[in-house]
Amino acid sequence: MASADPFDSALDLLRRLNPKDTAANVQRLCSLAPSLTEDLLESVDVPLTIKRDTKTGRDFLCCDYNRDGDSWRSPWSNEFFPAIDDGEGVVPSERVRKMEVKAGEAFDVYRELYFEGGISSVYFWDVDDGFAGCVLLKKSASPSSKSAASWDSIHVFEALDRARTARYKLTSTVILNLGTDAENLGNMDLSGNMVRQVEQDLPVENDGSHVTNIGKMVEDMEGKMRNLLQEVYFGKAKDVVGDLRSIASLSEAKRDKATHQEMINSMSRS
Amino acid sequence: MSSKTSALASFVESAPPGELTNVTSAIKTITGDNSLQSLAPAFQKYNEEQFTTVKLPGGSQSVIISSHNSLGDGRYYDVESQSSFAFDHSTQKASDVQSHVLESSQGDLVKSLLKSLSTHAQEHYPSSSLGVYPTFDDTSIAVVFVANKYSPNNFWNGRWRSQYIFAPSSGTLIGSIKVDVHYYEDGNVRLITSKPVSLSVSGGSAAEVTRQIAAAERMYQEELNRAFGSLSEGAFKGLRRQLPVTRQKIDWEKVGGYRLGQDIGGGRSR
């Protein structure tokens, strides 16, 4: 059953260990097996960190896609924070940056309409035959001193140009952490992440079409994932607790079932 | 402990219910170390804290591993079968079964608690294991209980653990209930709960102790079920709406036109 590949094993391990510790566990794995560092940082999603763009006074989100060494590029000013010492960091081409700005504005509206708060950041970059990007959204809330909740969306896509259409490949991760502490309940932590992928061919008239297409795809995906999260966090997890312990007496339930079966049998005989 | 060992030990410690073997084999692949000798203390801690169950050679009942029935040197005892056995913490296998007669001034209470608690367990837990042991100073009684349900084909596993210390002289019953659920289809979601229990038992009969434990566990499950509902309706809804206030999806062609409202409504990060 053991996978022979250390990278696959590291991903398998991260899928099993407490998802709340993923960031710390990635660090542990990187020091245990330094050769996996680059691949792990690229493929494992951890809660997004926040930095301040001191030029525009706006906060932005950091991930591996806007990182250059120990600096992160702000989507608002296109500059790196902290500034990069030796020369400039990699920025998108003029055409791709234009789309990035447009998408950044559109998803800021999206964020306000769906999250009513939080922070959004959109990063695009050039790839062969098109461009790629990520849409990041983060909202944290502490409804009381004894509870905390946070949502991180990480949507990574690739847009490959075809004649009059583009092929989009979208991988979406939502990290949802919920914790609460109360006298009667004690401590309850319900945390984790879910990942989904989709591919779609959509018509493209001009660069504006890309922002529209990506917007629709992300909105659609995030809606589906919200339903999925609701089902798993509050339905499935609760059901498993019910499978471990039954509030109703098991022998009574068994008797009821037997009586029910007897009734069915006697009805089918008559 | 080296930093490598402590990193690996933390992986073992947070292994989900029923997945220790998977975690161990991933660690072996990543480190290239097949013996994992340095992790012996971590495996012991895991087995004793998670109340690992094991079938004795020739026996049909599962018996519990915990610090309360440890005899030292990797040996543990079971009251019901009046035996002691050697336990290999890394393979979770028992061997070398010997006769072990309980010598305790609490012997009668231990046996009647075993009887009444196991009747209760069968009424509410489809599959569980129970241990009742005198504490080392023979003044109190330790109750350890675990219910597991593993469904790896459906990508979930769960564990309910409770433990109590009952002091007959003062009538105090102190302990905790812990639930651990892992769901890992298209993601990694974990429910971890912990609830301290502190009760006082009048009379001190096995029946009364059982009645109090049964009531506390029932109340806890009801409280936990309510918490799923209130997290779903409260914290979760507060993070991201299902649809914008307008109850319509975003018109991405016209998303620029939304900007006016957004400028008035704020949404700029502070």
> Chain A: nearest CA to B260, how far in angstroms?
10
What pTM was computed for the model?
A: 0.93
Query: Cα(A64)–Cα(A40) distance, rounded to whole angstroms?
Result: 11
- Give how far Cα A257 sits from Cα of A165, A263, A270, B200, B222, Å: 58, 10, 20, 37, 23
Q: Which of B4, B126, B191 sits opposite A190 (nearest CB)?
A: B191
- Residues 6 or more apart from A81 whose CB is under 8 A from it? A51, A52, A53, A54, A71, A72, A74
In chain A, which residues have their Cβ closer than 8 Å to the Cβ of B227?
Answer: 180, 182, 185, 188
How many Cβ atoms are within 10 Å of A24's Cβ, its own excluded? Answer: 14
What pLDDT tens digit does each residue of chain B (270 aa) get? 688 999 999 999 999 999 999 999 999 999 988 888 899 999 999 999 999 999 999 888 899 999 999 999 999 999 999 999 999 999 999 999 999 999 999 999 999 999 999 999 999 999 999 999 999 999 999 999 999 999 999 999 999 999 999 999 999 999 999 999 999 999 999 999 999 999 999 888 999 999 999 999 999 999 999 999 999 999 999 999 999 998 999 999 888 766 544 443 444 443
- Residues 6 or more apart from A214 whose CB is under 8 A from it? A103, A133, A135, A157, A159, A168
CB pairs under 8 A between A and B: 271
A10 and B124: CB-CB below 8 Å?
no
The least confident of A109-113, A248-252, B144-148, B182-186 is: A248-252
> Chain B: nearest CA to A220, how far in angstroms?
9
Mean pLDDT of A193-197: 97
β-partners of residue A196 are A172
- pLDDT given for residue A163 in this prediction: 85
- pLDDT given for residue B267 in this prediction: 42
A212 and B253: CB-CB below 8 Å?
yes
Q: What long-range pairs does B216-224 form, CB within 8 A, spacing at least 24?
A: B216/B177, B217/A245, B217/B124, B217/B162, B217/B177, B218/A247, B218/B124, B219/A184, B220/A186, B220/B177, B220/B195, B221/A241, B221/A245, B221/A247, B222/A247, B223/A184, B223/A185, B223/B195, B224/A185, B224/A188, B224/A238, B224/A241, B224/B179, B224/B193
Which strand (E) or helix (H) includes residue A180?
A: strand A165-182
Flag whether pLDDT at A216 surpasses 80: yes
A17 and B267: CB-CB below 8 Å?
no
Contact present, A112 and B265 (Cβ < 8 Å): yes
β-partners of residue B35 are none
Q: Which of A2, A149, A245 sits opposite B235 (nearest CB)?
A: A149
Flag whether pLDDT at A168 surpasses 70: yes
Write down all domains in chain B, each with its CATH number in brackets. Answer: 3-99 (3.30.1140.60), 107-235 (3.90.1150.210), 244-270 (no CATH)
Query: Cα(B220)–Cα(B177) distance, rounded to whole angstroms?
Result: 8
Flag whether pLDDT at A160 surpasses 70: yes
> Chain B: nearest CA to A217, how far in angstroms?
11
Question: Is there a cis peptide before residue A82, judged by omega within 30 degrees of 0?
Answer: yes
In chain A, which residues have their Cβ closer than 8 Å to the Cβ of B189?
Answer: 19, 190-194, 232-233, 237
Question: Is residue B144 helix, strand or coil?
Answer: strand
Q: How many residues does chain A have?
A: 270
B124 and A108: CB-CB below 8 Å?
no
Contact present, B167 and B209 (Cβ < 8 Å): no
Mean pLDDT of A46-60: 96
Contact present, A153 and A135 (Cβ < 8 Å): yes
Q: Which residues of B120-151 are buried (b: 16+ CB within 10 A; e: fewer)?
A: bbeebbeebbbbbbbeeeeebbbbbbbbbbbe
> Chain A: nearest CA to B57, how far in angstroms?
26
The least confident of A20-34, A192-206, A255-269 is: A255-269
> Chain B: nearest CA to A240, how far in angstroms?
7
> ipTM surpassing 0.95, yes or no?
no
Which of B46, B190, B197, B218 is best to mutate for the A interface (most A CBs within 10 A)? B190
CA–chain centroid gap for A125, Å, is: 20
User: Which spans in A195-249 are helix H?
Assistant: 207-230, 237-244
Q: pLDDT category, A90, cuts 50, 70, 90?
A: confident
Query: Cα(B59)–Cα(B62) distance, rounded to whole angstroms?
Result: 8
Q: Which of A106, A149, A251 sits opposite B238 (nearest CB)?
A: A149
How many Cβ atoms are within 10 Å of A71's Cβ, its own excluded? Answer: 17
Q: Which of A33, A58, A182 sits opposite B30 (nearest CB)?
A: A33
In chain B, which residues have their Cβ closer than 8 Å to the Cβ of A21?
Answer: 10, 14
- pLDDT given for residue A3 in this prediction: 46
A236 and B183: CB-CB below 8 Å?
yes
Mean pLDDT of A215-231: 97
- Residues 6 or more apart from A256 whose CB is under 8 A from it? none
- pLDDT given for residue A89 in this prediction: 81
B240 and A115: CB-CB below 8 Å?
yes
Question: Is residue B87 helix, strand or coil?
Answer: strand
- Residues 6 or more apart from B246 whose CB is under 8 A from it? A113
Which of A173, A176, A178, A177 minimizes the C-alpha distance to A221? A173
Query: Cα(B164)–Cα(B135) distance, rounded to whole angstroms?
Result: 11
A195 and B187: CB-CB below 8 Å?
yes
B124 and A6: CB-CB below 8 Å?
no
Write down all domains in chain A, each with its CATH number in brackets. Answer: 1-44 (no CATH), 93-244 (3.90.1150.210)
For residue A183, give both structure tokens: 């006298």
Mean pLDDT of A177-192: 95
How many Cβ atoms are within 10 Å of A270's Cβ, its own excluded? Answer: 5
Mean pLDDT of A249-267: 85
For residue B170, give both structure tokens: 């003062």
Contact present, A260 and A203 (Cβ < 8 Å): no
Read off the pLDDT of residues A229-244 as tens digits, 9 standing for 90 and up.
999 999 999 999 999 9
Question: Is residue A190 helix, strand or coil?
Answer: strand
B148 touches chain A (CB under 8 A): yes
Q: Which of A115, A143, A243 sits opposite B234 (nearest CB)?
A: A143
- pLDDT given for residue A252 in this prediction: 86
- Residues 6 or more apart from A85 whose CB is under 8 A from it? none
B260 touches chain A (CB under 8 A): no
Query: Cα(B246)–Cα(A22) distance, rounded to whole angstroms?
Result: 37
User: Which spans in B57-205 are helix H?
Assistant: 107-124
Question: Is residue A100 helix, strand or coil?
Answer: helix
Q: Which of B181, B188, B245 sits opposite A237 (nearest CB)?
A: B181
Mean pLDDT of A235-264: 90
In chain B, which residues have their Cβ closer than 8 Å to the Cβ of A150?
Answer: 239
A195 and B7: CB-CB below 8 Å?
no
Gyration radius from chain A CA atoms? 24
B 189-248 residues with CB < 8 A to A: 189-196, 217-225, 227-229, 231-232, 234-236, 238-246
In chain B, which residues have their Cβ closer than 8 Å to the Cβ of A105?
Answer: 255-256, 259
Which of B158, B220, B210, B212 minimizes the C-alpha distance to B184? B158
Q: Give the CA count within 13 Å in the CB-facing half-sphere of A256.
A: 6
Mean pLDDT of A55-72: 94
> Chain B: nearest CA to A86, how far in angstroms?
30
